[in-house]
Amino acid sequence: MNREGGLEGADDKRAALPNVVQSAKAVRGRSCEARKLVVAKRVFLSQYCNSRKSDAQQWRRTPVCWPTVSRAGQLDLQVVVGSVAASIAGISGPVLAAWESCKLFFRSDPLKIVRAEAQYMYDEQGRAYLDCINNVSHVGHCQPDVVAAASRQLSVLNTNNRFLHDNLVLCAQRLTDLMPEPLSVCFFVNSGSEANDLALRLARAHTGHQDVITLDHAYHGHLSSLIEISPYKFNMIPGHQQADWVHVAPCPDVYRGKFRDCDHPGEDMGALYAEEVRALCDKASARPGGGVACYIAESLQSCGGQVIPPDNYLREVFRHVRAAGGVCIADEVQVGFGRVGSHYWAFQLQGEDVVPDIVTMGKPMGNGYPVAAVITTRAVADSFRDTGVEYFNTYGGNPVSCAVANAVMQVIEDQGLRGHAKEVGDHLLERCRALQQRHALIGDVRGVGLFVGIELVTDRAARTPATAEAQHVLSRMKDESILLSSDGPDRNVLKLKPPMVFSMQNVDTFVDVLDEVLAELEDLDGDLAEPVNGHHVKTNGTNGTNGVNGHRGKATA
């Protein structure tokens, strides 16, 4: 090993690296200032240090192209292993342990956020960041009416739901009033994971069956019962054996899924994808001791890459599942409470006649406070009651949680946030689609309301995912004080699900900065001698002045 932590035989190691790093040779030009070094580190290191596919031990041994400054002042690449790269970066001890085990945004350069208001978050230096990520703070960070409702109730009473309380009754009434018939029975829990776990119990009690049909790339929660039905998670577990009662249907992604719109022009894509579910219903019914308990899916798949199912999909799926004796669960944990703008619940986008048997909700319901719920039909609830096993949740439906949820729903109504989400979301989609015409990296723009995905590709015809470019975009947007995340099976989909108070001006700021960042990636002025996946990387050295703190003049909420 040499002085700077490189490995002997670097050329041999370099040849073994994936093409995206192998193709990146060196950043040259002016004086290789520190900012260029940071950008280069992010481009080349983030794929390995932040990879969900590598456990801690594997990561420590993974060869990494680490940018270093030569004596001539040029940026060169040195091959080191992950643990050495961490040491060079000054990351060690408890910090390294946390870095390897915890899921942080921007893990190579994490933020310490100390306060937030509306759609802005602030670090310990007082710098404001435009929050395009946070669908938890649904009606805005630290929304005054929500904070006041929690504080007021907490100062009077907080106990379990073994006692009568107006907050619980009023919250259940509001939720069921927002649902189509026959969804009329409410169970309170603490999180989306608890809600989906209870939904599985309800489905099995009602049908007497065990089998679950889920979607590829789905994520429904962190409990053991939900990891079993979440390919987004269980596909990362080495040696994981999918349970025989779990059946995975293709994600109804018409852009890069099993059936692409370009390959099936004029066809009913919803029915085409639903036929895959019908085949799984037949398989489950034929399994010894099997039978369909339920089909569960997010109404709009978030972790799978901001996927909007094609028209007629849920209608046909629900028909097939019910014909097989199963029930249909709509997971609204990430997309409910008016985020889609035109409707309160995302499943309603598929038509008034498309009504699930069970609906789960969480995250936005408490604006960051732990509260969630399951809404179902009287028939399903009665089947659950008849098992003789009562459902009791110590904190589910406590007075404070229900006070918060009631306040969130009131703010949505009082401030017209559904209509606002539609208006601002339409503007966001329009501007992003205009951006798509200027940047070949943008393969697809999709979404509804304030739920939008921008899919980056290196080849529009082949629809090849631009994973490295997407990760670079996230880092550069953060440099410009805009917090963005990516997801999808290839982590190449930029996803926006901001607080519902996100404004028209916020949209313009976001799109203007994204335009600049994509232009950097496509610039051919030679800052990179060789391209990253065919696209050159360059930074304009603005250090945030073109982002939120520059565009807005001062960082106030």
Q: Is residue 458 part of a domain?
A: yes
DSSP string computed for 396-420: TT-HHHHHHHHHHHHHHHHTTHHHH
Alpha carbons 441 and 300: distance in angstroms, whole number: 24
Co-location of 468 and 407 in the same domain: no
Task: Give the strand order in the sheet containing 292-298.
Answer: 183-189, 372-377, 358-361, 327-331, 292-298, 211-215, 246-249
pLDDT of residue 63: 52
Domain match, 351 and 430 both: no
Give the integer Cα–Cα distance in Å for 79 and 66: 6
What span, in angstroms and rounded, lies between the C-alpha atoms of 304 and 324? 26
| 3-state SS class at 464 | strand
Residue 182: is the preceding peptide bond cis (ω within 30°)?
Answer: yes
Indicate whether 474 belongs to any domain.
Answer: yes
Domain count for the chain: 2
Beta bridge partners of 248: 214
Q: How confident is the model at residue 163, as a pLDDT?
A: 87
Position 545 in a domain = no
The sign of the CA dihedral 302, 308, 313, 315 is positive
| Residue 385: alpha-carbon gap to chain centroid | 35
Domain check: are 295 and 202 in the same one?
Answer: yes
Alpha-carbon distance of 84 to 430, in angstroms, equals 45
Which one of 391, 415, 439 terminates a domain?
415
Q: With contact defined as beta carbons under 8 Å apart, do 472 and 108 qualify?
A: no
Contact 423, 391 (CB under 8 A): no
Residues in the chain: 557
Nearest to 251 by CA among 286, 219, 204: 219
248 plus 354 within the same structural domain: yes
Q: Is 214 left (phi over 0), alpha (psi -120 to 50) or beta?
A: beta
Pairing of strands 113-117, 120-123: antiparallel
86 exposure class (CB count in 10 Å sphere: 0-12, 13-18, 19+): buried
Assess if residue 471 is contained within a domain.
yes
Domain span holding position 459 = 417-525
User: Is residue 410 situated within a structural domain?
Assistant: yes
- 23 assigned to some structural domain: no
> At what angle are helices 34-49 and 467-479 packed, to 10 degrees?
130
Does 319 share its domain with 291?
A: yes
Packing angle of the helix pair 504-522, 467-479 (nearest 10 deg): 130
pLDDT digits (tens, 9 = 90+) for 155-169: 999 998 888 899 999
- Asked, for residue 549, whether it belongs to a domain, the answer is no
What per-residue confidence (pLDDT) applies to 56? 45
- Which backbone phi and psi does 84 adopt, to 5 degrees? -70, -40
The residue ranges of the chain whose pLDDT is under 70 are 1-103, 524-547, 550-557
Domain boundary residue, one of 415, 447, 462: 415
335 and 267 inside one domain: yes
- pLDDT, residue 252, reads 97
Same domain, 213 and 354: yes
Regarding whether 467 and 398 lie in a shared domain, the answer is no
The answer to whether 361 and 375 are in contact (CB under 8 A) is yes
pTM score, whole prediction: 0.81
Both 317 and 337 in one domain: the answer is: yes
As a whole number of angstroms, the distance between CA 82 and CA 85 comes to 5
pLDDT on residue 110: 83
CATH number where 376 lies: 3.40.640.10
Q: Is 361 inside a domain boundary? A: yes
Token pair belonging to 127 = 């710098």
Same domain, 341 and 483: no
Residue 431 sits in a domain whose CATH number is: 3.90.1150.10
